[in-house]
Structure 1
């Protein structure tokens, strides 16, 4: 739990590209660091490879209807309802909003004083996700929702919560009075927004995600229930806030140690900006693994695996393969200008039918925010040494919070 990346690297050195771990409350996990084995998982039968069941640790926060916790037909049905808001053309409309929020935040940074950038990126991505999901303008409702969600994000990523999950399992934690006391205030404001929006007469003219989901229909013509909406909105809020904020903090942390890369970014090279995002997500993935629970015996990479095991394509180890990425520990965005990201060798958003719905949104958002930072401020690191990777619940964050000193652009 304390140093997962060096541990996984030592396991690969000792055992090879496939190795087994046994984890409290989770059972047997089989780690895969070979692209061919990862392809077998991502192209395998979804009735055999259950991602929803494997993600059960998230149930207390997201709820039983979350697309991340469903499998087979229910998963596909819910995924179809969630796809339209992330359509490319519609997503482009959010670009101006993202830029506006980022500019407002960057302009508030103190000049020539130490600043932890990671909390700033959390504030930016929280505002972006709340505005795009709920379509709220600044005001009392926005402030209340933002405050409750910030509290929820802290709870989901706190060490005590992680320790409780490991010791007791998600079902017992989710049923506890302590947990309900923290989650119920968030549910209160989310359900209130759902009820208020159901009564709106301009749903068809709005482009926020909640309004679009209220107009979505299941195959039988029925609308999504309030509980379904709550669970999917919480999924988008939690999955789309903390992860993108951390990736942005890592991008700046890496750029600060590579002044040439930052200078090229300031020149407005859009292709290079895209490569910076991809290289950041390769070298510093926020999540080190994806998981699938086996519902039948399978053979993967020549190994016979039993029903009930969890197969674990290891993002971190795949991204550090020298045969795919020469000098894998080096931050070198140019590699993605020389060759495109591979389907089974670049995995920050998972893959197959379970690939993250918000993958394009997250990359689009990262580019919008980095564009503002590069153009508005000149940054230098407080400490010349690279920041260590710090585990924060299930995510991997900059150990010092990306400490910078900003000067006027």
Structure 2
């Protein structure tokens, strides 16, 4: 399961009424977990399709940003009403909602989102963000549907997979926190199997999936529910009397069907109660296992000290990371967000200094020509910063980025003590952090 040792509950808001419902739910979840609550609003300037000329005044102090700050204050007040004992912080972060929330999720025990809304000042449809977060977040995602909590059971979808194992553990923890009954549903949809044989197999999978957790949570009342039918239909029906449905993001093996693309998406759109999606990118932590599990992520390897001259990054965020361990954490966070890191460039040690080649002498006449003209501009200052960092034992990293996700990537680097962070466009460069 997700490691919650030093994390917090994060809730994303967008100015809709449903977002405030999500805030109240997030505050209660933070209280149950004894975690602080962090309320995030991703702020992006609306697109203008006419030429309005120069904008007078200081942009950060315009009415749009003030309105966004008011939304955060209102949300914080709602959170304190719902759970007075929970510490509450807020953040207004420049960038599109999806990359901002995915970056924040890697420091979270739980990410809470509303299921719909027009996005307030940003014009964002929160439903699309919720679906994307459920598929790619670095922590479990709770999508709030309905209004206020009911007194029904917690329902968990079981299929015998690792994703299901994670979902079962999460569901037991929720039941313990809420004082709720657990209904473990295993639905199969196979017209070719004899009903008695399929039901026996389903009961066996349920028994194996629940056994260790029952020992850990002896006070949780458990009701196994093997049933023939399509998982999405069965679980949607159960949601009508439940206070929460819990699913693994990637079901597989004998009882297929709990894939995010089918069952989870159906529940996110049609459930009558909140839905928690627990991703299978983390190793399961079964009560019988001594090792709690570590991330098992593999989406490419970076270009590590590859000897090629880099005139300047283009469409990339670059920065310095103090240690190799912190750099590995950055790469793991990128992979967990679904990023293929095979285009990420990493320089370190004396070989990194040689490849960076601040004066161009090691890569021939063209390199010297490029570096000569860079000595007159902003790029030279950045090069010198990186050269100095490499000589101190730091690593330089260059991550492909766009205007939409550059801020989220910069924040991810900062979370891992990255500094000297810059975004390089085709004809521009800007600092995204201090030195």
Q: TM-score scaled to structure 1, two decimals?
A: 0.22
Q: TM-score scaled to structure 2, two decimals?
A: 0.21
Q: Which has the higher helix share?
A: 1
Q: Which has the higher strand share?
A: 2
**Which protein shows a greater Rg?**
2
Q: Which has the higher contact order (CA 8 A, sep 6+)?
A: 1
